[in-house]
Chain A
Amino acid sequence: MANKGCKDLVSEVIDSKLCALCGACTGNCPYLSYYRGRITLLDNCSRADEAQCYEYCPRTYIDMDAISQKIFGMPYGESETGTIKDVFIARATDTIIRKKAQYGGVVTTLLSLAMTEGLIHGAILTKTSDDKASAPFLAQNLGDMLQCAGSSYMACPVLGRYNQITKDDINKLGIVAMPCQVLSIAKMKIDPPQNRVNIGNVKLVIGLFCTWALSPDFHQFLKANLDLSKVKKFDIPPPPANRFDVYTASGKSSFPLEQIRKFTMPTCAYCLDMTSEFADVSVGSVEGMEGWNTVIVRTDAGADLIETARKKRKLQIDELPASNLEHLKEAALLKKKRALNEIVKRSGDKNNLLYLGLSPQLTKKLLA
């Protein structure tokens, strides 16, 4: 990875349509800037020896074993859903949170609890505006967090907001992130940034389940088709629904997924991670159970927080039905296999996995 800089980031990632719009290269770099769904290089930076934009990009070389070793103390394994301490279903006991939440309100509950407990002082989230455009946001109280509940399914450069926090800022942070963003944070954890944020301050990473994200261009599509100010919630119900639902005060309208698939980020096809495998806690929906979340606990920090939530009755926790777990694993494995095949198809060489540093054994197994 040595001797690569912003120009390489532009040619290898941005111009190659591998950019996930995670925001990791923006926020405290004056050269790279996010605007309307694109990362732009404003001027040429001459740093090629220690370019952190290149280093922390989730689509430049990533040593999965090294990251796993750092976070979980073991090499990257064969589990479809990553390293798991515990997996269950849960929902918020707080009805206000549940009402605002996308599914079970677990993310908002955990963030608010972490705040109350003093584990974090704020959280980097995604906030949707009145017309449902999403933007990164630093939430500093429960009210802020509630405003950020719900998903827009659109990529949002959350890490750019994180990067704006100065190195000497002592506040502890939580981040709610997509798998690509969790990867970038993991890269920062194994090799902490210079002159940038203090990664040590990130005390809680809540990863979301993700099969693919929509490009911010999708917002223009929605704007042309809907009065976005009236929208209450977007949802992509689990298969076989195959549709994108939009809830308004007056009811629900749906778009067939086929119609919106052209707005998916091209980079998602090359992503192996469905369940945010390097997060402290990963959260998603539960197939067939509206109003609940699937929760994967991965780290000690995650486990401690869940334990507190359990004790303080902030979460109602139940067992994940075995068939759901099986489906989750199947889906996660399918994403890995598909993505790896796409990667090999693109590189044209089974030994060239573009950005991915995966053991030959695991590569072979997934490609089989």
Chain B
Amino acid sequence: MANIEIDAPETSQLFIGNEAIARGALEAGIGFAAAYPGTPSSEILGSLAQVAKKIGIYAEWSINEMVAMEAAAGASFAGIRSLAAMKQNGINVVSDFLANLVMTGTGKGGLALVSCDDPSAISSSNEQDTRPIAKWLDIPLVEPGDFQEAKDMTRWLFDLAEELGTVCILRSVTRIAHARGNVKLGELPTKQHVAYFEQIHDLKNVMPTTFIPMPSPFRHFLLHMKLEKAREKFESSPFNRYLGPDKPDLLIITSGSCWLYSQDAIEALKLRYRVGILKLGTLWPLPERFVSEHVNKSNKVLFVEEIDPFIERSVMELAGNLPPNAARPTFYGKRSGHINAFGEINPDMVIKAISTILGLEYQPRDVDYSKKAEAAAKSNVPERTMTFCAGCPHRATFWSIKNALKLDGRDGFVTGDIGCYSMALGPAGFFQVRTMHCMGGGAGVANGLGKLGQFGFDQPVIAVVGDSTFYHATIPALINGIYNQSKFTLVILDNNATAMTGFQPHPGTGMTAMGEPTKVVSMEALCRSLGAHVEICDPFDLKATTDTLLKMMAKDGGTKVAIMRRQCELVRAKKENPPYKMHIDVDKCIGEACGCDRLCTRIFLCPGLVWDKKAGKSRIDEVICSGCGVCADVCPQGAIIREAA
């Protein structure tokens, strides 16, 4: 990670977008930061936590986004500038709190929420757009167009939030969050943070300070006034600007990373003198005067934005208010089909849209280019599907789950959840996961399935959840299962890390974000205290794990918990040497013959095992093999040998 706390104003640093945001927050003088990890947002809190002690701020990985937001609001109420960060899914988790926070207003410390959207859902279950949510929650929202803006906007957002007295959102996307660029630094504040919850709000009337959403209609009215104030400020914001000819043939209205794609497209088409770009940084509330001034520059307007037609719809609303005889440009974008309303946008798509609108012939590249590029890329990349790491405990767990469900014979299935183990919906987990929605959703779905006995339902249900996800959102579903006697087995994949997002600590790890040792919240003690029957398995012991799962599925009664306890291999490997050195006894390996049909490289699919087609034998890839030894128990011929390393 970059050095975000460096005190060198006016120098340039190479930052990823998330580090730029974190730096912006430091320059704004935040004292409190809370987040739940989620790609592509995790590095914001990650980088703040690393420097928190040194800088004298507080940073935490919260149990979930809701608590992160609430905790940050608490700090704001006591006068501390605070930040909450999350990925787009997290916004749903906090939306209930936000819907009330906008009514109560924030405290003396400005409060900013960073939401990182993930167009194309590269590391997500969906590609939800935060912008419409800001609109329906009446929250001002801004979006940086590059790394410098990511830093500058964040810094400015705290001033704005404090002035308005309401939470403000900075929306980022993967290509801003994770791409890297130069950022010119500003000053770091030297002010000492003092936290105090002012009991008296108004000295004249001796009114106590409250953050209560009632009376709601009045508070709602006040909120709209705050939004109007924000709109007024946005009208002259330097984050909104126009670049292009006075009378362009086509006006592009864009924001965020799409601004960069639009510039590339115009450059590639050499249309700098024909096409103009109106780049917006403050998206909600829309600076209507500023936009109106530009929207009639051309009779053709193209909206280039990722995911939802947010700017497009907002500008169309604006156009609806134009005087009856005013000239109306033709709008192009998602509604017209020129820009996709799903997935990421790239310069090619923008080029295609511009070319179509302006009737240009443009061949962006050699027709066979994509094929050639693919071939070139493949020549350097081992052919491998998306899978668990070599030595990952999840592979072993899903092997046992698969076998247990098959042996049980009642057509049981797995309800899945969010984490590395989401990959179990594919070959990595032997296609075991049948439902997947949101954090904790798998256990919730299992609650319903587990109550269908009266309708003849006898299929065993296994809800699979990671350790971090268990703490995040599964506990209420577990309590519900125990309370309402729903018949399912909750399998907690306890690898002692929030592995998918970068091994952030959680309540079960005994470590805080700032590296301090803390109390371990024992999941088994918690589950047992709720009255659940709890078993703890070592997933590497395939037989015992399978037997335990079979027993739990066969047992009557309500919700049961099986904890699969094995440290994430990536964490373990950093601390210890591999437990085993693996090799193949080629005399015993029967390869594709009857009695094996290369079970290890065809079904088990650990990347540490490779099929030597020429020899007709399996082979250990010594670079990748982590020496976990599980495959020795999978091999039906005893041909995979583990020796103590």
Identify the A interface with B (CB < 8 A): 28-31, 33, 35-36, 38, 40-43, 45-47, 50-53, 166, 194-196
Could you tell me if B636 and A30 are in contact, using CB atoms closer than 8 angstroms? yes
**Chain A residues in 8 Å Cβ range of B596:** 30, 195
CA distance A53 to B636 in the complex (A): 15
Can you name the residue of chain A whose Cβ is closest to the Cβ of B636?
A30
Interface residues of B in 403-446 (CB under 8 A from A): 403, 406-409, 430
Could you tell me if A30 and B599 are in contact, using CB atoms closer than 8 angstroms? yes
CA distance A30 to B638 in the complex (A): 11
Could you tell me if A31 and B597 are in contact, using CB atoms closer than 8 angstroms? yes
**Chain A residues in 8 Å Cβ range of B637:** 28, 195
CA distance A42 to B603 in the complex (A): 10
Given the known inter-chain contacts A28-B636, A29-B636, please indicate yes or no for A40 contacting B407, CB distance below 8 A. Answer: yes
- Residues of B in contact (CB 8 Å), total 22
Could you tell me if B409 and A35 are in contact, using CB atoms closer than 8 angstroms? yes
Tell me what chain A mostly uses at the interface: helix, strand, loop, or mixed: loop
Which one, A38, A46, A195, contacts B595 given CB within 8 A? A195
Could you tell me if A33 and B636 are in contact, using CB atoms closer than 8 angstroms? no
**Chain A residues in 8 Å Cβ range of B590:** 195
CA distance A41 to B402 in the complex (A): 11
Can you name the residue of chain B whose Cβ is closest to the Cβ of A35?
B407
Q: Mark B575-605, 1 if CB is under 8 A from A, else 0.
A: 0000000000000001011111101001100
Could you tell me if B636 and A42 are in contact, using CB atoms closer than 8 angstroms? no
CA distance A40 to B592 in the complex (A): 21
Given the known inter-chain contacts A28-B636, A30-B636, A195-B590, please indicate yes or no for A45 contacting B597, CB distance below 8 A. Answer: yes
**Chain A residues in 8 Å Cβ range of B409:** 35-36, 38, 40
Could you tell me if B403 and A42 are in contact, using CB atoms closer than 8 angstroms? yes
Could you tell me if B406 and A40 are in contact, using CB atoms closer than 8 angstroms? yes
Which 10 residue pairs spanning A and B have beta carbons closest together?
A30-B636, A35-B407, A195-B595, A45-B597, A30-B599, A195-B590, A43-B603, A47-B594, A52-B594, A42-B406
CB distance from A277 to the nearest CB of B (A): 28
**Chain B residues in 8 Å Cβ range of A36:** 407, 409
Could you tell me if B594 and A43 are in contact, using CB atoms closer than 8 angstroms? no
**Chain B residues in 8 Å Cβ range of A40:** 406-407, 409
**Chain B residues in 8 Å Cβ range of A43:** 402, 430, 599, 603
**Chain A residues in 8 Å Cβ range of B406:** 33, 40-42
Identify the B interface with A (CB < 8 A): 402-403, 406-409, 430, 550, 590, 592-597, 599, 602-603, 634, 636-638
**Chain A residues in 8 Å Cβ range of B403:** 33, 42
CA distance A28 to B639 in the complex (A): 13
CB distance from B548 to the nearest CB of A (A): 14
Q: Which has the most chain A C-beta neighbours within 10 Å: B409, B430, B590, B594?
A: B594
Could you tell me if A194 and B597 are in contact, using CB atoms closer than 8 angstroms? no
**Chain B residues in 8 Å Cβ range of A35:** 407-409, 550
Given the known inter-chain contacts A30-B636, A42-B402, please indicate yes or no for A50 contacting B593, CB distance below 8 A. Answer: yes
CA distance A33 to B594 in the complex (A): 15
22 contacts between A and B (CB under 8 A): A29-B594, A29-B595, A30-B596, A33-B403, A35-B550, A38-B409, A40-B406, A40-B407, A42-B403, A42-B406, A42-B407, A43-B599, A45-B597, A46-B597, A47-B594, A47-B597, A52-B594, A52-B595, A53-B594, A195-B593, A195-B596, A196-B595
**Chain A residues in 8 Å Cβ range of B594:** 29, 45, 47, 50-53, 194-195
CA distance A53 to B602 in the complex (A): 19
**Chain B residues in 8 Å Cβ range of A53:** 594
Kindly list 15 other residue pairs between chains A and B, CB separation below 8 angstroms, not including A42-B407, A47-B593. A28-B595, A29-B595, A30-B599, A30-B634, A31-B599, A33-B403, A33-B406, A35-B409, A36-B409, A40-B407, A43-B599, A47-B597, A166-B638, A194-B594, A195-B595
Given the known inter-chain contacts A35-B407, A38-B409, A40-B407, please indicate yes or no for A194 contacting B402, CB distance below 8 A. Answer: no
Can you name the residue of chain A whose Cβ is closest to the Cβ of B550?
A35
Tell me what chain B mostly uses at the interface: helix, strand, loop, or mixed: loop
CB distance from A144 to the nearest CB of B (A): 23
**Chain B residues in 8 Å Cβ range of A41:** 406
CB distance from A169 to the nearest CB of B (A): 12
CA distance A39 to B390 in the complex (A): 31
CA distance A62 to B596 in the complex (A): 25
CA distance A90 to B404 in the complex (A): 46
**Chain B residues in 8 Å Cβ range of A195:** 590, 593-596, 637
CB distance from B601 to the nearest CB of A (A): 12
Q: Which has the most chain A C-beta neighbours within 10 Å: B407, B430, B550, B634?
A: B407
Could you tell me if A194 and B603 are in contact, using CB atoms closer than 8 angstroms? no
**Chain B residues in 8 Å Cβ range of A28:** 595, 636-637
**Chain A residues in 8 Å Cβ range of B402:** 42-43
CB distance from B168 to the nearest CB of A (A): 53
Q: Which has the most chain A C-beta neighbours within 10 Å: B403, B592, B638?
A: B403
CB distance from A39 to the nearest CB of B (A): 10
Can you name the residue of chain B whose Cβ is closest to the Cβ of A28?
B595
CA distance A31 to B592 in the complex (A): 13
CB distance from B606 to the nearest CB of A (A): 15
CA distance A196 to B593 in the complex (A): 11
CA distance A304 to B494 in the complex (A): 62
Q: Which has the most chain B C-beta neighbours within 10 Å: A43, A46, A47?
A: A43
CA distance A52 to B597 in the complex (A): 12
Can you name the residue of chain B whose Cβ is closest to the Cβ of A41?
B406
Can you name the residue of chain B whose Cβ is closest to the Cβ of A164?
B636
CB distance from A159 to the nearest CB of B (A): 14
CA distance A230 to B638 in the complex (A): 40
CB distance from A176 to the nearest CB of B (A): 25
CA distance A28 to B599 in the complex (A): 12
**Chain A residues in 8 Å Cβ range of B603:** 43
CA distance A40 to B411 in the complex (A): 12
CB distance from A194 to the nearest CB of B (A): 7
CA distance A125 to B274 in the complex (A): 90
Given the known inter-chain contacts A28-B636, A29-B636, A40-B407, please indicate yes or no for A194 contacting B593, CB distance below 8 A. Answer: yes
CA distance A41 to B407 in the complex (A): 8
CB distance from A163 to the nearest CB of B (A): 9
**Chain A residues in 8 Å Cβ range of B550:** 35
Can you name the residue of chain A whose Cβ is closest to the Cβ of B403?
A42
CA distance A51 to B595 in the complex (A): 8
CA distance A195 to B402 in the complex (A): 26
**Chain B residues in 8 Å Cβ range of A38:** 409
CB distance from A155 to the nearest CB of B (A): 16
Q: Which has the most chain B C-beta neighbours within 10 Å: A35, A38, A53, A194?
A: A35
CA distance A196 to B550 in the complex (A): 29
**Chain B residues in 8 Å Cβ range of A33:** 403, 406-407
CB distance from B608 to the nearest CB of A (A): 18
**Chain A residues in 8 Å Cβ range of B595:** 28-30, 52, 194-196
Can you name the residue of chain B whose Cβ is closest to the Cβ of A30?
B636
CA distance A194 to B406 in the complex (A): 27
CA distance A33 to B409 in the complex (A): 11
**Chain B residues in 8 Å Cβ range of A196:** 595
CA distance A28 to B634 in the complex (A): 12
CA distance A360 to B550 in the complex (A): 48
CB distance from A364 to the nearest CB of B (A): 37
CA distance A51 to B597 in the complex (A): 10
CB distance from B576 to the nearest CB of A (A): 30
**Chain A residues in 8 Å Cβ range of B634:** 30
CA distance A52 to B593 in the complex (A): 10
CA distance A41 to B595 in the complex (A): 13
CA distance A35 to B592 in the complex (A): 25
CB distance from B632 to the nearest CB of A (A): 13
CB distance from B633 to the nearest CB of A (A): 11
CA distance A72 to B373 in the complex (A): 68
CB distance from A19 to the nearest CB of B (A): 13
**Chain B residues in 8 Å Cβ range of A29:** 594-595, 636
Can you name the residue of chain A whose Cβ is closest to the Cβ of B602?
A46
**Chain A residues in 8 Å Cβ range of B602:** 46
CA distance A38 to B402 in the complex (A): 16
CA distance A8 to B123 in the complex (A): 41
**Chain B residues in 8 Å Cβ range of A45:** 594, 597
CA distance A318 to B409 in the complex (A): 49
